[in-house]
């Protein structure tokens, strides 16, 4: 397990960034760890994803994790903590680790390093899953049906023309 891997830490508020930079320096890892801070432009986001092979999401709490959708759209597998919202988005148990358990996280990363072929397979699978579920016409039709049914039940006949035009 003495593999040296580069690590990029992305996001976090000013206090979190300061904490991690100090901790990384204390551990003597400054040459291997970079902090991407806030990724606010499409170019920064694209560069971040093009530089990584695996996204690790170690959240303790999370609503809908948009970052997983962003990663899957680019074919980047996600290793996530086993909190409910991440379990819903990460279909494969081997890509989940016990929340708050750094040893389990390390074991999962180690397993993926030893099984790089599995990581490559997952990359293809998550990208295809993204294309087949979140980008499909079926999803759009479902949203449109929901939207139109909401319009039909709400007052304001002028809004109904939007749905009537597409029938």
pLDDT of residue 127: 77
**3-state per-residue secondary structure call for 34-71:** EEEECCCCHHHHHHHHHCCCCEEECCCCCCCCHHHHHH
pLDDT of residue 7: 86
pLDDT of residue 146: 79
pLDDT of residue 142: 75
126 and 72 in contact (C-beta within 8 Å)?
yes
pLDDT of residue 167: 47
**CA nearest 49: which of 99, 8, 108, 101?**
8
Residue 106 CB partners (closer than 8 Å, separation 6+): 1
pLDDT of residue 160: 47
Number of Cβ atoms within 10 Å of the Cβ of 138 = 10
Tokens of 58: 């170690």
Please tell me the distance from the alpha carbon of residue 109 to that of residue 117, in angstroms, as a whole number.
13
Q: From first to last of its 167 residues, what are the pLDDT tens digits of the chain?
A: 556 778 888 877 788 888 989 999 999 999 988 888 778 888 888 888 888 888 898 888 877 778 888 888 888 899 999 999 888 888 788 899 999 999 999 999 888 888 888 888 888 888 777 777 766 666 667 777 777 777 666 555 544 454 554 54
Tokens of 74: 């680019």
């Amino acid at each position: 397990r003495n593999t040296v891997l580069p690590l990029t830490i992305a996001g976090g508020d000013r206090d979190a960034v300061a904490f991690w930079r100090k901790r990384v320096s204390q551990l003597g890892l400054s040459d291997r760890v970079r902090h991407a801070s806030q990724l606010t432009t499409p170019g920064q986001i694209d560069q971040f994803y093009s530089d990584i092979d695996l996204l690790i999401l170690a959240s303790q709490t999370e609503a809908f994790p948009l970052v997983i959708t962003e990663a899957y759209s680019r074919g980047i597998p996600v290793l996530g903590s086993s909190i409910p919202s991440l379990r819903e988005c990460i279909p494969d148990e081997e890509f989940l680790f016990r929340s708050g358990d750094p040893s389990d996280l390390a074991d999962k990363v180690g397993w993926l390093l030893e099984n790089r072929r599995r990581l490559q397979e997952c990359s293809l699978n998550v990208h295809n899953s993204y294309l087949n579920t979140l980008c499909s016409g079926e999803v759009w039709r479902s949203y449109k049906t929901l939207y139109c049914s909401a319009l039909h039940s709400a007052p304001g006949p002028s809004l109904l023309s939007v749905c009537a035009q597409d029938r």
